[in-house]
Amino acid sequence: MANRIDATFAALRSSGGKALMPFITAGDPDLQTTAALVRDLAARGAALIELGLPYSDPVADGPTIQASYTRALGGGARLDDIFRMVRELRADCDVPITAMGSFSLVTRRGVTRFLDDARDAGIDGVIIPDLSLEEYDDVAAAADKRDLAHVMLVAPTSPWERAARLAERSTGFLYYISVTGITGERNELPLELVDRVARLREATRVPICVGFGISKPEHVRQVTAVADGAIVGSAIVRRIGDLAGEDRGRIVAAIGAYVSDLVAALP
């Protein structure tokens, strides 16, 4: 079976569409709500879902996502529970799911076991933000054998030679970080975004998705005018945190309405 990520982007390319990829933390506020959100956001037009694997020492994540990881871990969310939730989702939900997590989570379980468990659960790709290019080859080869995408991140501060190497090796899609620093909402996106994405296209055949700082429909319009997808994380996670203690249905409805506005901004 073709990887869901590849199939989704191929379909979007054929139709001239672009992708919205919401990020949500697995287990915030609980795994039942996470599963309900995945189903709802997919139904509202999210092309892919990025699922954060909570970890006590997150990498490049601002205070909003760090707080969500703390809430998820405090609520008892663990890796086996997250994999079980995704496996149960696959009974009626076919949206592509990428899992973002620290390399420490991978090495603690063992690379082979982690990738086997992710694949068997129904995860389609992994994003390991602290995986160095020097350690990349072994993980990439193991992921390829399991038909798992291994998505690389390129920062605006990456020297071009290194950025090109990352872009060339990434599968599924390339994650371009739109701004320097940690995740979080911004009022404006950098002007050099257009030129940087255009240059990255020369180095890779996979779709390019842009994340960090995207929170408004106008951001989605700006990003998807040049890239293949927009990734929205902190703005969603903050809203979930603001709704802490609310009924699950209210959380899902509120986040769904926000994501629907973002989907409506796609070309």
Q: What are the pLDDT digits (tens) for 215-246?
A: 999 999 989 999 999 999 999 999 999 998 99
Instruction: Tell me what the mean pLDDT of segment 175-202 comes to.
Output: 71
pLDDT score at 186:
44
Residue 125 pairs with which residues in a beta bridge?
98, 149
129 prior amide bond cis, ω within 30: no
Whether 50 sits among the annotated catalytic residues: the reply is yes
What is the CATH classification number for the domain harbouring 187?
3.20.20.70
Residue of 6, 30, 40, 61 marked catalytic: 61
pLDDT of residue 133: 80
Give the range among 47-61, 77-91, 127-141 with minimum mean pLDDT. Answer: 47-61
Do residues 68 and 52 touch, judged by C-beta distance below 8 A?
yes
pLDDT digits (tens, 9 = 90+) for 21-37: 999 999 999 999 999 99
For 37, half-sphere exposure in the C-beta direction (CA atoms, 13 angstrom radius) is 31
Q: Report residue 60's pLDDT band, with 50, 70 and 90 as the boundaries.
A: low
Give the count of domains, the chain.
Answer: 1
> For residue 188, which of 224, 212, 164 has the smallest C-alpha distance?
212
Shortest CA distance to 121 belongs to which of 68, 81, 164?
A: 81
130 catalytic residue (yes or no):
no
Portion of the chain with pLDDT greater than 70, in percent: 92
pLDDT, residue 134, reads: 79
pLDDT tens-place string over residues 134-188: 788 999 999 999 999 999 999 988 899 999 999 999 999 999 998 644 344 445 5
Mean pLDDT of the chain: 92
Indicate which residue of 6, 50, 117, 124 is catalytic: 50
Please give the pLDDT value at position 63: 81
Three-state DSSP state, 210: strand
Confidence of residue 132 (pLDDT cuts 50, 70, 90): confident
> 115-118 long-range CB contacts below 8 Å, 24 or more apart?
115/139, 115/142, 115/143, 115/146, 115/148, 116/146, 117/79, 117/80, 117/83, 118/83, 118/146, 118/148
Report the percent of the chain where pLDDT is more than 90.
81
Q: Are 52 and 24 spatial neighbours (Cβ–Cβ below 8 Å)?
A: yes
Range of the domain at 37: 4-264
The pTM score is: 0.93
